[in-house]
Amino acid sequence: MDKVHHVVSDPELDNLLKNQKVIIDFSAEWSPTFSKLSNEYPNIIFIHVDIDRLSTHPLVKTIRSVPTFQMYVNSALEKEVCGASEGGIKSMLEANK
């Protein structure tokens, strides 16, 4: 079982961003790679945001391509990876674990 939060509302996303370390998968569908990684990094909150469902959220409006992965530390954007590169996502996670 993965530890990914599947966000369904703007307030829920805003609340989860208040955590210390958060990685967000902005995509249109669920990612098995992201799900697997959620079990490998227990100190990071994993969030999936369906860009079609939360299309009006300010963060979603900044997404230019899917999937896009963003790492936040204390609500500040630290790094972004565009595309489904597991290596790029792992590098971002390793730098913030």
Domain extents in the chain:
4-94
* Residue range 74-83: mean pLDDT, rounded: 94
pLDDT band at 28 (very low <50, low <70, confident <90, very high): confident
Listed in sequence order, the residues at least 6 apart from 89 whose beta carbon sits closer than 8 Å to its beta carbon are 23, 33, 34, 37, 69, 81
H-type alpha helices, the chain? 10-16, 32-40, 58-61, 86-94
Length, in residues, of the chain: 97
pLDDT of residue 91: 95
pLDDT band at 32 (very low <50, low <70, confident <90, very high): confident
pLDDT band at 52 (very low <50, low <70, confident <90, very high): very high
Q: At what angle do helices 32-40 and 86-94 cross, to 10 degrees?
A: 20
pLDDT of residue 84: 85
State in Å, rounded, how far the first CA of the chain is from the last one. Answer: 21
CATH node for 4-94: 3.40.30.10
